[in-house]
Amino acid sequence: MVQTRFKIGNVTVRLIQGDITEQDVDVIVNAANSYLKHGGGVALAIVRKGGEIIQKESDEWVKRNGPVPEGEVAVTTAGKLKAKYVVHAVGPKFGDPEGDVKLRNAIRNSILKAEELGQSSIALPAISTGIYGYPYERCAQIMADIVKELSPSLNNLKEIRVVLWGQEAFETFRRIFHEKLSGYTSSC
Ligand code: AR6
């Protein structure tokens, strides 16, 4: 498996090139839209593999609470996936002047939700870099900063996995994470 690992305090941060739906972690983060209609990209892959229960619970969530604002998250179970929960994070579309703040919030709230749920491992995709058009580089910078900032204060979470689809995404994240977390590399 292609991967890179960093250790920040008690938290292992792992970059993996692969499919997020295959990850053996407690929480999988989905790159969702505000209506939690999982019709494309990683969202569709999660529902295809996890089952319609994820879409059904998502619909119920929106019915109860209204659309999920950009930068916020909603939680459902994970159906047939190995994970226990899916945290649906709504990222911004590239070009939104508030985009970086919203992307930062979406990533931050995902990690904090997994911590709040008492879980020990989480896998995140490169939120907003597919259909929503964000450059990998910008997403990687934002994610590396948040991981560095949050890791020392996490008690439950022991592993944060970033799962990249394809070599270009993986290489970009690896380069940026090495730049930003250079003091923490434990293996390549
Ligand atoms: N595992 C890991 N990463 C993946 C996978 C996978 N199986 N499949 C795609 N990616 P996107 P967005 C990567 O488009 O840009 C949906 O329709 C992909 O290469 O899934 O936030 C939602 O319902 C890219 O790098 O999410 C929303 O309407 C990253 O995951 C909208 O798309 C995110 O791509 C959200 O757009």
Counting from 1 in the atom list of ligand 1, the atom nearest the Cα of 46 is 7
Mean pLDDT of the chain: 96
Q: Hey, what domains does the chain have and what are their CATH numbers?
A: 3-181 (3.40.220.10)
Asked whether residue 185 carries a pLDDT value surpassing 80, the answer given is: no
Q: Concatenated DSSP letters for 111-134?
A: HHHHHHTT-SEEEE--TTSSTT--
Between vectors from CA 30 to CA 28 and to CA 31, what angle results, nearest 5°? Answer: 150
CB 76 within 8 A of CB 58: yes
ipTM confidence score: 0.99
What the block records as the tokens of 24 is 């053996």
* pLDDT, tens digit (0-9, with 9 covering 90-100), for 17-54: 999 999 999 999 999 999 999 999 999 999 999 999 99
What is the residue with the minimal CA distance to atom 3 of ligand 1? Answer: 165
Q: What is the largest CA-CA distance in the chain?
A: 46
Type of residue at 39? G
* pLDDT, tens digit (0-9, with 9 covering 90-100), for 103-143: 999 999 999 999 999 999 999 999 999 999 999 999 999 99
Type of residue at 18? G
pLDDT tier, 5 (very low <50, low <70, confident <90, very high otherwise): very high
> In a mutational test of the pocket of ligand 1, which residue from 28, 81, 131, 173 has the highest number of ligand atoms less than 8 Å from its CB?
131
Name the pairing type of β-strands 73-77 and 85-90. Answer: antiparallel
What pLDDT score does 161 carry?
Answer: 98
pTM of the model: 0.97
